[in-house]
Structure 1
Amino acid sequence: MLPPILANLRIPAMASPMFIVSGPDLVIAQCKAGIVGSFPALNAREKDGDPPLLDIWLTRIEEELDRHNQANPDRPAAPFAVNQIVHRSNARLERDIEICHKHRVPIWITSLGARPEVNAAAHDCGGIALHDVITNTFAKKAIEKGADGLIAVAAGAGGHAGQQSPFALIHEIREWFDGPLLLSGAISTGRAILAAQAMGADLAYIGSPFIATAEANAQAEYKQMIVDSGAEDIVNSSLFTGIHGNYLAPSIRNAGMDPAALSGADSSAMDFGGGAAKAKAWSQIWGSGQGIGAVRAVQPAAELVDRLAAEYAEAKQALAAL
């Protein structure tokens, strides 16, 4: 059964937190459109000596969504989520947890490690904790450590993607887990959202299509590359961050490398400290999932959600007719 905070969305979907790309503008637009908006806490990077930008971002998101809800009581905004990278190299984690706890963030997403203290902080302020996983083994560990739900990151997802088919991954998790389960991996249409539910997921977890939106914090060239590319333009490599991820081949070529001849890197290359060391992996080498063939134009996030909602309704109708 879904917790109440996830049960009354316009469509069963959550926007995934994308490094650099997801910020307050995009999150607010996603929530107003009726799906859960999210961003990585590490995207909020202030200059030395400035007040924590994460605190400022959360205040703005809360205030704007509150104003929207007061003006639209019949169409309230969806809740928002904050992603915490719990890898040991993230020196900001403890501070960011305190800020999110102060703001009573309703949905916490954890990545790159399951930490009981993060789940406890979410629960203490009335929130829920979702952990993203790429295998059934990691899923079991996350629930054992106190996560409320899981995000199954299957093959075809953008960024740090899993390697398993969504059919296999969702099936294995559903054999033992009946709690909140989201699916990530090449979901960019309303039909794909319905397919995720048919497989056993509760919600779809959608990222790459939102790169090509007006509110996304991405270069115009990045947005256009999403529009112009398809699944065959996606390359999987561990070179850039130490974890296997999916990237746009044209951006790799633009950086002077051959997408077909990339070396690898092991997990010791991961560094979420200052962020500068791996900035190239996200500012010059652009991540994307395989579902971008359905992205036809750069548009406002609300229009993208409108399309997904219309396609989802049409898909349900068509399936019922069968």
Structure 2
Amino acid sequence: MATKLTKLLHIKYPIIQAPMFLVSNVSMVTEAMKGGIAGCIPALNYRTLDELRAALKQLKSNKVEGGSFGFNLIVNKSNLKYKEQLRVICEEGCDFIITSLGSPEETINQAHQVGIKVFCDVVDLKFAQKVEALGADAVIAVNNEAGGHRGNLSPEMLIKELVAHCKIPIISAGGVGTKADIDKMLSYGAEGVSVGSPFIASLEAGVTDEYKQACIDYGEKDIVVTERISGTPCTVINTPYVQKIGTKQTWLESVLNKHKKLKKWVKMIRFSIGMRATEKAATQATYKTVWVAGPSIEHTHEILPVKMIIEKLVN
């Protein structure tokens, strides 16, 4: 399964264990590296810079041949910690950074100075060409089957369009739960895949057993898109609580989001409220169950170690 991604990150299989808010942790990424793939953690999973630095040091000491690790940065103004997180990551070092929701220019410039590769989330050709021009090492093509913040295009349409017009590697994100799915994405021209939801129900994931069990009990048909988490459409499991609160923004948010000067602050407030809600649902037993996941939970049937999930994906 050698591809440009395996060569770029020196990994055995062309798979990135996707960064998942609250879910991803050092244990998961360590097992990912042992399994011959790359693992990634959102920097926002750490409340303080000291905790982020400690995680970087631990992963460096845990690194094995054939594995790779990185961190995800939200690079827009909603993440007030962004610049300091980037500084710490560049000081300690990792193999790659994945940028989301903003311009990656500053990240690319600083990361490349210390030998860190930068992959950028994109949902269309226009943004892919922008980040390629800025010097990105690869793009993460987020399609309409992704979990969390997803794109609008199908995997086939998005991958083929990017492959036809971009020179850097295309890594597909969304719609992968089996080996057949990986083969399909590679057949479209992708150099690898980013896989998240199948790893939620892992022994190492840092979330409640209720969240993990939900990924077993619910399936593809139970995934809905909500505007109530971050202000940007996000996929969640359609639990009774989600049905109760609805998936559309409030009428007040709708009005304020049309105001040129206020919409930035409205989004920041919604992002803060939504993140607190998902954190409670992921880490505590609560009836307010807002569980982020993608359609690929359709293939999750039991809670397994990360090692076995990787084996199922590659065999």
Q: TM-score range by the shorter chain?
A: 0.7 to 0.9
Q: Corresponding residue for 2:293? A: 288
Q: Corresponding residue for 1:100? A: 89
| Residue pair 1:235, 1:246 contacting (<8 A) in 2 also | yes
**In structure 2, do the counterparts of structure 1 residues 182 and 23 end up closer, same or farther at CA, with 3 Å as the change threshold?**
same
Q: Corresponding residue for 1:54? A: 52
State the shift of 1:3 in Å.
Answer: 6.3
Q: Secondary structure at the match of 1:52?
A: helix
| Residue pair 1:242, 1:270 contacting (<8 A) in 2 also | yes
- The whole-number CA distance in structure 2 between the counterparts of 1:108 and 1:307 is 26
- What letter is aligned with 1:290? P
Match of 1:263 among 235, 241, 248: 248
Q: Corresponding residue for 1:12? A: 14
Q: Corresponding residue for 1:22? A: 24
Question: Where do 1:290-305 residues align within 5 Å?
Answer: 290-305=295-310
| Residue pair 1:83, 1:111 contacting (<8 A) in 2 also | yes
Question: Where do 1:126-205 residues align within 5 Å?
Answer: 126-205=115-194
**In structure 2, do the counterparts of structure 1 residues 213 and 4 end up closer, same or farther at CA, with 3 Å as the change threshold?**
closer
Q: Secondary structure at the match of 2:146?
A: coil
TM-score (norm 1): 0.85
The C-alpha deviation readout for 1:72-112, integer Å capped at 9, x for no partner, is xxxx2411011010011212111111111112221111000
- What letter is aligned with 1:263? K
The C-alpha deviation readout for 1:100-130, integer Å capped at 9, x for no partner, is 1112221111000123111011111111110
State the shift of 1:293 in Å.
Answer: 1.0
TM-score (norm 2): 0.87
Q: Secondary structure at the match of 2:171?
A: strand
State the shift of 1:5 in Å.
Answer: 5.0
Fraction of identical pairs, as percent: 29
**In structure 2, do the counterparts of structure 1 residues 286 and 52 end up closer, same or farther at CA, with 3 Å as the change threshold?**
same
Q: Secondary structure at the match of 1:212?
A: coil
The C-alpha deviation readout for 1:16-68, integer Å capped at 9, x for no partner, is 1000111111111111111100001111113xxxx611001111111122xxx
State the shift of 1:6 in Å.
Answer: 3.1
State the shift of 1:137 in Å.
Answer: 1.3
| Residue pair 2:14, 2:37 contacting (<8 A) in 1 also | yes
Q: Secondary structure at the match of 1:37?
A: strand
- The whole-number CA distance in structure 2 between the counterparts of 1:192 and 1:262 is 29
State the shift of 1:281 in Å.
Answer: 3.6
Q: Corresponding residue for 2:275? A: 278
Question: Where do 1:173-252 residues align within 5 Å?
Answer: 173-250=162-239
**In structure 2, do the counterparts of structure 1 residues 148 and 308 end up closer, same or farther at CA, with 3 Å as the change threshold?**
same
- The whole-number CA distance in structure 2 between the counterparts of 1:273 and 1:32 is 38
Residues matched between the structures, number: 293
The C-alpha deviation readout for 1:208-240, integer Å capped at 9, x for no partner, is 000000111111100000011111000012222
Q: Corresponding residue for 1:320? A: none
**Unaligned segments of structure 2, at least 5 residues:** 258-262, 282-289
**In structure 2, do the counterparts of structure 1 residues 270 and 34 end up closer, same or farther at CA, with 3 Å as the change threshold?**
farther
Q: Secondary structure at the match of 1:271?
A: helix
Q: Secondary structure at the match of 1:42?
A: helix
**Unaligned segments of structure 1, at least 5 residues:** 70-75, 311-322
Question: Where do 1:23-42 residues align within 5 Å?
Answer: 23-42=25-44
State the shift of 1:241 in Å.
Answer: 1.1
- The whole-number CA distance in structure 2 between the counterparts of 1:171 and 1:28 is 32
RMSD of aligned Cα (Å): 2.1
